[in-house]
Structure 1
Amino acid sequence: MNKVTVTAKTVDDAVSMALKQLSAAQDQVTVTILEEPSKGFLGLIGVKPAKVEVEIKIDPLAEAQKFLEMVLENMKISAKVVVTKKSDFYLFDIVGDDLGIIIGRRGQTLESLQFLVNTVGNRHSNSYLRIILDAENYREKRKQTLQQLADRLAEKAAKSGQPVKLEPMSAHERKIIHTHLQGKSLVMTYSEGTDPNRYIVIQAKK
C-alpha cells in the first residue's frame, strides 16, 4: 500500500492516521488536502471533517535498482547490485559469477541495460539522475584498452600524416579517447557520423 485517503476532525489528525497506516514518516510522503474541515451552524450542525490523500514518495534510485534486480532475476543470473554514490553519478556494480552475458560484446549489453535503468530512475526523479552500470570491473578494463588503442593509433597518425578512423563507439567511450589524447601535442581528435555509428578520427596536427 503506497497511498491512502483518510478523513478526520482536523488535517493534522488525518495525516497522522495516514502515516500510521503507511508505516511512514512525514518526510517520506506527499500530502494532498482534498477537503478542509468546516463547522456547521453554531459549530454543532453539519460538521465537515478534513479529508487528505497521503502517498509515499517514490525513491527513483530504489526504483532503478529494483528494475535492474528484476532483469537479473528474469535472466536467471545470480548476482547482487551494490550501489555507490560518486561525485556526479551513482555506480550500480553488479556482483556475481560469470557475468559475461550481462556485459555482452564490447559492453553492448551493459550499455543497453544502463540506458534502461537510467530511463526507469529518471521517470521518477525531479532532477537528472545519472547511473553507471559495471560488472567484473569491466569499465576500468575497457578504459585501459581504449587508452592503449588510442596511443597506438595516435602514433600511427602522427607518423603517416594520414587521418585514422576508429570503429563506431558510444559517447562515453569516445569521451575516454578524446580526453586521453587531449594533451598530445602531435595529434588532434574529432568525431564524425551520427549515433549509433558515430566514430572518432585521429589526425596529425599541422
Structure 2
Amino acid sequence: MDEQIQRGKKWLETLLTLMGVPASVTIGRVEQEERAISCWLTIDETKLTPTVIENLIGKKGETIDALQYLANVLLNIGVLDGEERFFTVELNGYRIRRQAELMAIAQKAADRVRITGMPEEIRYLSSVERRQVHSFLEKSGDLATESEGNEPDRRLIVKLRR
C-alpha cells in the first residue's frame, strides 16, 4: 500500500486518540483520478456511541469536513506536485448518504435550469460539497456551474452553457 496513504491512516488514528476517541481507521476506496490518487479513510464506528458518532460528524458535517480538510492540508505539506494524495474521511456512511443527497440536489437544479432556461442557485453547501456538485454536473454538455459570493454566503450557480 502507498506510503502516503498509510501515513494518512496513522495520522487520523493518532488524531482520534488525542481527541479521546481511540478508533481504528481502515483504508477504503483508492482511486486514480485525473490529477492525483484519492483515498477514503473510514473510521470504525463499532465501538463508538451514537453521541460520539454524532459529535465526530458534527452539525451539517462540519466536524468531519474539518477532519478531512486537516488531513488533506497537513498530509500534503512538502509533497511534490502530482504526488499528492486526497483523502475522504468517512464515518457511519455519512459521506455516501450525503453524496446521494447532493446528486439529487444537483439533478433537481439541472432539471429546473433545462426547463426554465434560468440559472438556479444552490445555497448552504460547504466548499467540499460545492466541488462535488461541480464535478457531478461538469459531464453535462449543456450545463455550466460556478461559485459566487463569499463565505459563509458562497453559493453554486447552475446555468445553461453558452
What is the TM-score when the length of structure 2 is the normalising length? 0.71
Q: Name the residue aligned to 1:105.
A: 59
Cα distance in 1 for partners of 2:141, 2:76 equals: 40
Q: Name the residue aligned to 1:73.
A: 17
Contact 2:9/2:26 (<8 A) preserved: no
**CA deviation profile, 1:129-188 (whole Å, cap 9, x unmatched):** 322211112222111101111122222333333322111434432232223333446643
Unmatched 5+ residue regions in structure 2?
32-36
Q: Name the residue aligned to 2:147.
A: 191
Q: 1:158 aligns with which of 106, 114, 119?
A: 114
Contact 2:13/2:22 (<8 A) preserved: no
Q: CA deviation at 1:118?
A: 2.8
Q: 1:120 aligns with which of 74, 89, 94?
A: 74
Q: How many residues of Structure 1 are paired with residues of Structure 2 in the alignment?
A: 148
Q: Name the residue aligned to 2:41.
A: 92
Q: CA deviation at 1:125?
A: 4.6
Q: 1:191 to 1:120 in 2, by over 3 A?
A: closer
Q: 1:130 aligns with which of 86, 100, 124?
A: 86
Cα distance in 2 for partners of 1:205, 1:188 equals: 5
**Which deviates more, 179-188 or 105-114?**
179-188
Point out the structure with max Rg over C-alpha: 1
Q: Secondary structure at the match of 1:113?
A: helix
Q: CA deviation at 1:70?
A: 3.0
Contact 1:190/1:200 (<8 A) preserved: yes
Which one-letter code corresponds to 1:106 in the other structure?
K
**Which deviates more, 99-108 or 175-184?**
175-184
Cα distance in 1 for partners of 2:134, 2:72 equals: 24
Cα distance in 2 for partners of 1:60, 1:187 equals: 36
Cα distance in 1 for partners of 2:139, 2:79 equals: 37
Q: 1:118 to 1:190 in 2, by over 3 A?
A: closer
What is the alpha-carbon root mean square deviation over aligned residues? Answer: 2.9
Cα distance in 2 for partners of 1:179, 1:120 equals: 24
Cα distance in 2 for partners of 1:190, 1:161 equals: 16
Q: CA deviation at 1:102?
A: 1.3
Unmatched 5+ residue regions in structure 1?
1-58
What is the TM-score when the length of structure 1 is the normalising length? 0.58
Which one-letter code corresponds to 1:104 in the other structure?
G
Q: Secondary structure at the match of 1:77?
A: coil
Cα distance in 2 for partners of 1:78, 1:168 equals: 32
Over the matched positions of the two proteins, sequence identity in percent amounts to 24
